[in-house]
Structure 1
Amino acid sequence: MCGIVGYVGSKDAYPILIKGLHRLEYRGYDSAGIALINPAGKLNVYKSKGKVTELEHFVEDKDISGTIGIAHTRWATHGEPNDVNAHPHYSENGSIALIHNGIIENYGVLKAMLAEKGYTFRSETDTEVLVQFIEYLHTENRCTLFEAVQAALNQVIGAYAIAVLDRTNNDEIIAARKSSPLVVGIGEGEYFLASDATPIVEYVKDVVYLNDGEIAVINRHKPLKVVNLNNIESKIDIRKLEMNISELEKGGYPHFMLKEIFEQPRTITDCIRGRINVKGTNVVLSGILDNKERFLNARRIIFVACGTSWHAGLIGEYLFEDLCGIEVKVEYASEFRYRNPVIHSDDVVIAISQSGETADTLAAIELAKSKGAFVYGICNVVGSSIARATHSGTYIHVGPEIGVASTKAFTGQVTVLVMMAMMLAKMKGLIDEEKYREVLRGLIAMPDNIKEVLDQHEHIQSVASIFTYARNFLYLGRGCNYPTAMEGALKLKEISYIHAEGCPAAEMKHGTIALIDQEMPTIVIATNGSVYEKTISNIQEIKARGGKVIVVVTEGDCIVAEMADYCIWIPKTAECITPLLSSIPLQLFAYYIAVNKGRNVDQPRNLAKSVTVE
């Protein structure tokens, strides 16, 4: 992985491809490259370790002419990040170039076979093996490039999204996908190709999302053709892009992450719009209503997710067990898929993913479907793989999230989970009207309440400046704010590279308290609620051992404020939706510490936005 962009048409390809690579930088990468076929039919491949700007410098004196090309940002899987391992890779005869997201699992076997036939390899990558294999089949079988790609992919094991050029045909790009996303943009006499819609949104509105096992023949002079690996032509489903170019700009903020943190009053409004009525007396999600019997008769609910989405699932566990009286399990998708989990046909599996492309979550969905379970998706990207693979679902509608560390997507996921739990609790007759309306009105008021928290950004920034020195942090919470504490710790780790641990406040006594000293700051979520007094006791235990304590408390609370070293206040709201408020200061705190440490906030090292490999 990580980012793919392609173009064929009447315009110069290079400016479009480079701008597309810049648009894809949010996904995280360590090298970049480009392949162009010039008007004379020469294939030019340029690539370099580092950022896209370094690639631009590298090609300043090179031939970048041509109206067809492919480009790539790479997040290393096979082989270290360097110029040689960067994509595109080209065949031994210099005719074919290929870019690739994913992992070819049987590349070792293919490489050994090709070596026996005299092929040599420049890089350590599985991708170069694939392009050499395509060249071998192309030459050996004397077939078209499309036929060679199709034959190669029928023998490949693994995941891929690929785009392939042949210098002998400067009108055509061959693209294919399996378990890694690809979208084709359709213009007037031109086509665009990308791993997601962000690089092409300013050029086209009509797009086709390729399905697993499909190959696209993209020819500037012909209509788009899509076939599967068995050469059966697929019906082309043209969709409209639901994205605005302004959403991909920083809008005056120094980083996308800060912009997205401050967007949350709007994104929560967008998430609940049309789902909760103005008076806050009813919530309707069409995905739940259309599958009412499945949810009412569910034996269990199983959440499958990774990273931040897994933390959202943990909050969902509290909500669904407490409000709906149903057994809930929360599973790491990466572990779930490699066990032999007991799944019943009357289970409901809820898959959560911001991108809708998370490879482990997609595999978990297929496993659950194979066992007969009903699978429901919660994701952000319209038309994504998870949205298409699940039986039904709900979009969070928070707009493109460019910062690698998730912020507005997390609160959007939690908001959807709250609405789902409230709707199911009402259908089952397990919630009284007063509590039902309290929570719904709390969601309606949430955008204004989040604004109140964001108004404290200067105070949070000053607290962060005091603790920038710290090498370790402990985050504590109880009840539905325990997952929020874990999410806060993850944010700090992701963007500041400071070690942080989140755990239930009561569990601190079972080992973690040994770490407490004056150099180990602790952040405690101590909002009003059913476990408030217990959390106070945990704070006292930390203070008794000389620990520094930063607390997130309900406004007006004087008891905890007197104990703590520093306080951040949030407005009072229904207990089950406090994670939506308590997560905001933790996001800001992590952001300001990372900025103070000079980190690349939007593109932290070693991380990718959309994890499309295991």
Structure 2
Amino acid sequence: MCQLAAYVGDRPIIPLLLRALELQEPLYAGHATGLGVIDQGVLRVVKDSGPVVRVRHVTDIGSLKGTAGIAHSRYNSRARDDPRFNISEMAHPFLDDARNLALMHNGTIYNYRKHWQQLRDVHSFTSYVEGLDSITDSEIAAHMLSDELLGGMSIEKALRAVTSQLVGGFLLAVITPDDPETVWIANWYQPCVVAVGDDEAMFCSSPLGFHDIAYEMDRLFKPPKNSILKLTRGKVEVTTMDSSRRLYDWKMDEGRAADAILQIVMKEKEIGVKKLWDALYPDGWAEVFGVSSESFRKEYLQGFRFVNEYFGFMDKLVARGFLKKKVNLRAEGGYPETPRIFYSLA
């Protein structure tokens, strides 16, 4: 799972967005870092592989400026263990062929290859690696959206048209010089938190991204998990993305969750946040939500996610004295110091 941030307003945008990514990186991200901004009507993107600290050092990302921007910290399970899947071209945001929109993505689009087969001969795909026959699902979404816009749709209608064709859990965030002080977001079950302030608005995947500025904002909230969001100065408009999609009313049994998590941590002594989640998939999580493993697996493939709920519950276990949390630096994605949260018994 990736970690994202976006902003519209007058604060110095690059320090703000990079700080938001750094605060969120240890959850699991940090394999690649990228920023896209609208600067006086011009779309500019800088990205590279590696966590924020590296990309700050090896690129001119710090020189970007603007009043609307999107920022992305990439996590990819293949890139974690094989740096061939972590080249700079796989970092977000992605541009359309005309370089008139930048799109970043969180989640997994399971049917992306079907769409790629339809698009590969008419678009340029920078993230494709022929020797690996690998391409990011995210770049497919950028070209799908571009085609709908070229057909005359508004961004909002284009996002609805594209997301109706996607299978999985996903969040798409888009900026374009055609709408220079707006960030558009289409979200199906991915972590999403929004803050609104005086003549500004901001989005982060996790509440952690707002750590330095939350007290300065007027409102902080989590939009519904089936939403189109329009972020503009001092305002966030929220509408339903797709009325045909069904949100699940599953509730986490915190007693069962605590028992399952503590048993795994006791066995492992110390365990990373992603490995712990994987250890419970699917049977452990199915029990926590009171459903069958088959049902959990099926709905997960359709997009069901509970990322911030998971992180929030882990913080509860830490606050109650059951667990200790720390950030370790690990070798991932070809880089030796990727930050990652680990848990052990208190």
Calculate the TM-score normalised by the size of structure 2: 0.72
Whole-Å Cα distance in 2 between the matches of residues 57 and 26 of structure 1? Answer: 19
Aligned partner (choices 163, 167, 174) of residue 184 of structure 2:
174
1:97 is the counterpart of 2:96 = no
Whole-Å Cα distance in 2 between the matches of residues 366 and 183 of structure 1? Answer: 26
Q: Aligned runs of 1:250-265 on 2, under 5 Å?
A: none
Whole-Å Cα distance in 1 between the matches of residues 108 and 258 of structure 2? Answer: 21
CA contact (8 A) 2:5 2:70 kept: yes
Whole-Å Cα distance in 1 between the matches of residues 59 and 178 of structure 2? Answer: 23
| Distance change >3 Å, CA 396–CA 199, structure 1 → 2 | closer
Q: Aligned runs of 1:132-171 on 2, under 5 Å?
A: 132-140=143-151, 142-171=152-181
Q: Give the aligned residue type for 2:154.
A: T
Deviations 1:38-62 (A, max 9, x none): 01x1111101111212222344387
Deviation at 1:231, TM superposition (A): 6.9
Residue number in structure 2 paired with 1:69:
69
Deviations 1:235-289 (A, max 9, x none): xxxxxxxxxxxxxxxxxxxxxxxxxxxxxxxxxxxxxxxxxxxxxxxxxxxx9xx
Residue number in structure 2 paired with 1:335:
282
Q: Aligned runs of 1:261-300 on 2, under 5 Å?
A: none
CA contact (8 A) 2:35 2:61 kept: no
Deviations 1:343-379 (A, max 9, x none): xxxxxx5359xxxxxxxx9x739969xxxxxxxxxx9
Q: Give the aligned residue type for 1:82.
A: I
| Distance change >3 Å, CA 150–CA 605, structure 1 → 2 | same
Deviation at 1:200, TM superposition (A): 1.4
Question: Any idea what SS the aligned residue of 1:210 has?
Answer: coil
CA contact (8 A) 1:304 1:333 kept: no
Aligned partner (choices 283, 288, 309) of residue 350 of structure 1:
288
CA contact (8 A) 1:8 1:191 kept: yes
CA contact (8 A) 1:305 1:313 kept: no
CA contact (8 A) 2:328 2:340 kept: no
| Count of residues in Structure 1 that have an aligned counterpart in Structure 2 | 297
Whole-Å Cα distance in 2 between the matches of residues 173 and 197 of structure 1? Answer: 18
Residue number in structure 2 paired with 1:31:
32
Whole-Å Cα distance in 1 between the matches of residues 89 and 281 of structure 2? Answer: 31
Whole-Å Cα distance in 2 between the matches of residues 2 and 307 of structure 1? Answer: 25
Residue number in structure 2 paired with 1:189:
199
1:227 is the counterpart of 2:239 = yes
CA contact (8 A) 1:24 1:199 kept: yes
Question: Any idea what SS the aligned residue of 1:171 has?
Answer: coil
Greater RCO (Cα-Cα under 8 Å, separation 6 or more): 2
1:87 is the counterpart of 2:92 = yes
Whole-Å Cα distance in 2 between the matches of residues 23 and 5 of structure 1? Answer: 11
Q: Aligned runs of 1:364-403 on 2, under 5 Å?
A: 364=296, 384-385=308-309, 398=315
- Greater strand share, 1 or 2? 2
Calculate the TM-score normalised by the size of structure 1: 0.43
Structure 2: runs of 5 or more not aligned: 80-84, 128-134, 245-250, 268-277, 301-305, 334-338
Q: Give the aligned residue type for 1:215.
A: I
Deviation at 1:332, TM superposition (A): 5.9
Structure 1: runs of 5 or more not aligned: 233-286, 288-294, 296-300, 315-330, 342-348, 353-360, 369-378, 388-394, 400-407, 413-446, 448-579, 592-599
Whole-Å Cα distance in 2 between the matches of residues 109 and 307 of structure 1? Answer: 38
Whole-Å Cα distance in 2 between the matches of residues 150 and 160 of structure 1? Answer: 13
CA contact (8 A) 1:68 1:170 kept: yes
Whole-Å Cα distance in 1 between the matches of residues 200 and 148 of structure 2? Answer: 29
CA contact (8 A) 1:100 1:127 kept: yes
Question: What is the RMSD computed on CA atoms of the aligned residues?
Answer: 4.1
Residue number in structure 1 paired with 2:247:
none
Deviation at 1:110, TM superposition (A): 0.7
Residue number in structure 2 paired with 1:22:
22
Question: Any idea what SS the aligned residue of 1:69 has?
Answer: strand
CA contact (8 A) 1:217 1:225 kept: yes
Deviation at 1:122, TM superposition (A): 0.8
Question: Any idea what SS the aligned residue of 2:15 has?
Answer: helix
Whole-Å Cα distance in 2 between the matches of residues 83 and 306 of structure 1? Answer: 41
Residue number in structure 1 paired with 2:53:
53
Aligned partner (choices 214, 236, 239) of residue 227 of structure 2:
214
1:131 is the counterpart of 2:78 = no
Deviations 1:551-587 (A, max 9, x none): xxxxxxxxxxxxxxxxxxxxxxxxxxxxx5xx88xx9
Whole-Å Cα distance in 1 between the matches of residues 266 and 310 of structure 2? Answer: 16
Question: Any idea what SS the aligned residue of 2:88 has?
Answer: coil
| Distance change >3 Å, CA 305–CA 175, structure 1 → 2 | farther
Residue number in structure 2 paired with 1:120:
124
| Distance change >3 Å, CA 6–CA 309, structure 1 → 2 | farther
Residue number in structure 2 paired with 1:440:
none
Whole-Å Cα distance in 2 between the matches of residues 218 and 45 of structure 1? Answer: 19
Deviation at 1:138, TM superposition (A): 1.1
Deviation at 1:159, TM superposition (A): 1.1
Instruction: Mark the structure with the bigger radius of gyration.
Output: 1
Residue number in structure 1 paired with 2:264:
311
| Distance change >3 Å, CA 230–CA 304, structure 1 → 2 | same
Whole-Å Cα distance in 1 between the matches of residues 315 and 77 of structure 2? Answer: 30
Whole-Å Cα distance in 1 between the matches of residues 61 and 309 of structure 2? Answer: 40
Whole-Å Cα distance in 2 between the matches of residues 602 and 160 of structure 1? Answer: 28
Deviation at 1:210, TM superposition (A): 2.3
Residue number in structure 2 paired with 1:376:
none
Q: Give the aligned residue type for 1:213.
A: N
Whole-Å Cα distance in 1 between the matches of residues 263 and 136 of structure 2? Answer: 31
Deviations 1:83-137 (A, max 9, x none): 1101111111111111111111111011111124x11211021100011111111
Q: Give the aligned residue type for 1:127.
A: S
Whole-Å Cα distance in 2 between the matches of residues 334 and 305 of structure 1? Answer: 15
Residue number in structure 1 paired with 2:6:
6
Whole-Å Cα distance in 1 between the matches of residues 298 and 110 of structure 2? Answer: 19
| Distance change >3 Å, CA 129–CA 307, structure 1 → 2 | farther
Whole-Å Cα distance in 1 between the matches of residues 259 and 154 of structure 2? Answer: 41
Q: Give the aligned residue type for 2:89.
A: V
Deviations 1:148-188 (A, max 9, x none): 11110111111112211112211110112223201111111
